[in-house]
Amino acid sequence: MKKVSISFTLNGDTVSAEVPPTWTLLKTLREAFELTGAKEGCGVGECGACTVIVDGQTVNACIYPVPEIDGRHVTTIEGLADKEGNLDPLQTAFLENNGVQCGFCTSGMIMSARSLLDDNSSPNEDEIRTAISGNICRCTGYVQIVESIDIAAKKA
């Protein structure tokens, strides 16, 4: 298969790669860039485990055709901590408030929450629940996740 060249900004750095045109953004992040934070749950847009932020908007990386990423800005869970390794307030809140159990949904959940807080720094519970309605968690029952996001919003 003829490969395509892509060049984009990944967590602040300009990167490029040669990948098959049939690859999704998720496969590219995990296999070409070895960023395994974004997970493949369903592979068809239903579960949100693969959520990343492209040009300021969350997308399901598992159904995002990678040739479209050329020239764009991508943020993944690996890009949230600062250069010194200080975690994003959302990451800290999830760790301290049992927002994480098995962890499979967590990176996608935090990316959806990050996008929410970028637009709305003091969301109410309804807004938080709507923001994560495309992210399925099979462990927590969502209560600790909603609390973690609320706490992160209030601390920031």
Partner 1 sequence: MIDYEYLKPASLDEVFDLMKKHGSKAELVAGGTDVMVFIKQGNHSPEVLISLRGLTDLCYIQKNSAYHIGALATHRMLEQSQLVKEELTALQQGSSQVGSIQVRNMGTLGGNICNAAPSADTAAPLLVLDAVAVLQSPEGQRRVPIEEFFIGPSETVKKNDEVLVEIEIPSEMGRFKTAYCKHARRQAMTLPIIGVSVGILLEKDVIADARIALTVAAPTPIRVRQAEDFLKGKPFEEGVLKEAGEIASSPECCMPRDSLRCEGWYREEMVRILIPRVAMAAVEE
Q: Which residues bind partner 1 (CB under 8 A)?
A: 1-2, 4, 21-22, 24, 43-46, 48, 51, 57-60, 63-65, 67-68, 112, 115, 130-131, 133-136
Q: Are 103 and 153 in contact (CB under 8 A)?
A: no
CB of 59 to ligand FAD, least distance (A): 11
> Running DSSP on this structure, what letter comes out for residue 90?
H
Q: Which is nearer to ligand FAD, 46 or 55 (CB)?
A: 46
What is the dihedral angle through the alpha carbons of 89, 95, 99, 103, rounded to the nearest 10 degrees? 110
45 near ligand FAD (CB under 6 A):
yes
43 near ligand FAD (CB under 6 A):
no
31 near ligand FAD (CB under 6 A):
no
CB crowding 67-85: b at 16 or more within 10 Å, else e: eebeeeebbbbbbbeeeee
Per DSSP, which regions of the chain are E strands? Answer: 4-10, 13-19, 51-54, 57-60, 73-75
CB of 38 to partner 1, least distance (A): 12
Decide which of ligand FAD, ligand FES, partner 1, none touches 59; Cβ closer than 5 to 8 Å per partner kind. partner 1
Decide which of ligand FAD, ligand FES, partner 1, none touches 140; Cβ closer than 5 to 8 Å per partner kind. ligand FES
Q: Are 153 and 119 in contact (CB under 8 A)?
A: no
* CA atoms of 81 and 65, how far apart (whole Å): 27
Write phi, then psi, for 106 (nearest 5 degrees). -60, -45
139 near ligand FES (CB under 6 A):
yes
Question: Which one of 14-22, 72-80, 86-94, 136-144 is the stretch in contact with ligand FES (CB under 6 A)?
Answer: 136-144
Q: Please report, as ranges, the residues that interact with ligand FAD according to CB under 6 A.
A: 45-46
